[in-house]
Chain A
């Protein structure tokens, strides 16, 4: 009699575990599928966009094209917050890359956000892309 009751309890407990564990795992997957990526992307975009606006308004982008030098852009990229990396590439109006610089010590990440801004140099139109990501 006691043996039978023990078997029933065991089977019952195993059945309960078989139902509960997948259910809890499913809930866990659903809850953890929420990623802050879109918010990170927006923050990064705003940051990259602001940075490009600054570099455009103070003619750093134009001067880089006319002089062919990247030192000012490079030092700007190196002075970004330590958790942030970025790459600036300047293209001609025919979409040919002209200049490119990246924050020192950074490697490209899969997750990034890109801002684009155009400007004039030597009466020609160029555009700069600034791709940013977190270290």
Chain B
């Protein structure tokens, strides 16, 4: 009788201990799963924030449209850049945006965001090329001059004054070819195809406008572009306007295609998620091909 009682007691105690252990292990496993789910949620939010910040940023703020296309051993970077004019401060626009993201937007998302290197400049790798637009000046530094094949620039201007002076540079045979085409109201006002040495200070593709009412004033407004050296920089394409509003309707820069992917970069995004102590750093890739 006593032995049977002991057996019952031991069996019941074993059963209860087993139930307790199963419950405890279930709880531990569940907590781990929840921790992973929270980390996964944080990763998802960070991905979403990265996409929200980087997606169409330059297109919406600077109206810059840039694409990369590969064909037959060449790669062409195509840029459309409207609003080259004094009334637009491209640098300020990007800085305002950066400030907004790093403060109000980050606070609302409950994360820390930094955008190092983000301004009105784009880098094109692996060529080491740089594009920059600010107000009346557009610059493209081609970087790898050996790989550069061709530059084709089309610009439209909104000037209504009569045409004035025209300037087209000399040829440098054997050098990268530079096409310049200026137009207004759909009609060409300057067209030139000139091989240009990237290390020389070449003359400009220049078109100015005048007033006809006395006293006649020349060069009241103008557009000029030049490829070559600029200060200490070489391989620089510059487009400048004075007193007019220009749109780069298309700029094609063609290089011999590298083995690696061509990427257009606009600085970095660093997002820190304080709740789980996670930080994500990534480059802002505007285009690639």
CB distance from A81 to the nearest CB of B (A): 20
Is B220 engaged at the interface, CB distance under 8 Å to the other chain? Answer: no
- Having A34-B26, A34-B30, one finds 14 other A-B pairs with CB under 8 Å, namely A27-B19, A30-B23, A39-B37, A42-B40, A42-B44, A45-B44, A116-B49, A116-B108, A117-B52, A118-B100, A118-B101, A125-B96, A125-B100, A127-B105
Is B278 engaged at the interface, CB distance under 8 Å to the other chain? Answer: no
Is A7 engaged at the interface, CB distance under 8 Å to the other chain? Answer: no
A41 to B34, CA, bound (A): 12
Is A11 engaged at the interface, CB distance under 8 Å to the other chain? Answer: no
Give the contact-size bracket for chain B. Answer: 20 to 34
- Which residue of A is nearest B36, CB measured? A38
CB distance from B1 to the nearest CB of A (A): 10
List chain A positions with a Cβ less than 8 A from chain B.
16, 19-20, 23-24, 26-27, 30-31, 33-34, 38-39, 41-42, 45-46, 49, 91, 93-95, 115-120, 123, 125, 127, 129
Which residues of chain B are near A27, meaning CB under 8 Å? Answer: 19-20, 23
A120/B61 in contact, CB under 8 A? yes
CB distance from B195 to the nearest CB of A (A): 40
B41/A41 in contact, CB under 8 A? yes
CB distance from B75 to the nearest CB of A (A): 28
CB distance from A73 to the nearest CB of B (A): 18
Which residues of chain B are near A34, meaning CB under 8 Å? Answer: 26-27, 30
List chain B positions with a Cβ less than 8 A from chain A.
12, 16, 19-20, 23-24, 26-27, 30, 34, 37-38, 40-41, 44-45, 48-49, 52-53, 60-61, 93, 96-97, 100-101, 104-105, 107-109
B48/A49 in contact, CB under 8 A? yes
CB distance from B89 to the nearest CB of A (A): 11
A52 to B97, CA, bound (A): 20
A39 to B93, CA, bound (A): 39
